[in-house]
Amino acid sequence: MVTTDVSTPVPTAPRVSAARVGAVLEYFFTYSFRTREALTLLGVIWLTAVTEPVLYLLAMGLGVGSLIDSTIPVDSHQLSYIQFVAPAMLAVSCMSGAISASIFSFYTRHRHLGMFTMISTAAVSPAEVVVADWLWEIIRVTMLSAIFVAVMVVAGVVGVGNALVAFVATILVIAAFAAVGIGLSTLLRGWQDFDIITVAQTVLFLFSGTFFPIQQYPEWLQVIVQLSPLYQSIALLRALTIGDFGMALVVPIAYLLLMVVAGLLFSVRRLGRDLGR
């Protein structure tokens, strides 16, 4: 007696081709410099990237910082106010840049330009589209974080060695928020939903230990704050700028890596559903 195997085949995870990801990246680069996005990238964004960190450091160092005589304890270190705030503002800059760039760019290309639908017809998988877009946003925002770190060095807030280590860490922060930002962009129903993202960013900005230690909060609120991605980013960059390379860094690094994995997997699943793949 002959039997027929009618079992359902187990789906395999799509392979991500480095060549196809590179091709999509090249397309993003070419498209950006053929449209008005190039003017924004080379003009307003770069001007903002240079002036924003300078203004922040001047305001906090010469303004608010001059009114605070006491140092702020962080683990076993005593930090001036500008040393306390500067790495936090670097983390905020990475978060804002990555979230804004990834959500706006991905949403525009996907919902309004139909770019990903067109790309997917060229045998490019949703995973390759997401990874390419993710890398593109990392490249763009990392250039801006480099300027912020350079200003911190020139201002004497951090030494060159610790600044280089902190700069590498900013790439992880940007990667984490960019991955989450792409995922969030697939959930947006329209331009009005960008207001929700703005409110969420503002809440994180104000309540993640940016301007003062979270020990000022009640204990129950401290626990909630420590679960926020911006707090973990600030904790990582603040520790690195003061040269604290202990095991405590494992927690924020693991947290941000989890954001990268979860954000990319969610984004690939959502984009695949939109593209019918």
What pLDDT shows up at residue 224? 92
Mean pLDDT of 20-37: 68
Q: What is the mean pLDDT of residues 181-188?
A: 88
If pLDDT is split at 50, 70 and 90, which confidence band does 102 have?
confident
Per-residue pLDDT reduced to its tens digit, 224-244: 999 999 999 999 999 999 988
Task: For helices 126-154 and 250-274, give the axis angle rounded to 10 degrees.
Answer: 140
pLDDT mean over 181-207: 85
What is the model's pLDDT at position 275?
Answer: 73
Query: Is the C-alpha dihedral spanning 163, 257, 274, 194 positive or negative?
Result: negative
pLDDT confidence bin for 2, thresholds 50/70/90:
very low
Q: Whole-prediction pTM value?
A: 0.85
pLDDT at 58: 73
| Mean pLDDT of all residues in 16-28 | 75
Question: Residue 205's pLDDT is what?
Answer: 87
Closest CA to 182 of 130, 136, 118, 143: 130
Q: Is 80 exceeded by the pLDDT of residue 208?
A: yes
Flag whether pLDDT at 32 surpasses 60: yes
Tokens of 134: 């993710």
**C-alpha span between 272 and 266 (Å, rounded):** 10
Q: What is the mean pLDDT of the chain?
A: 81
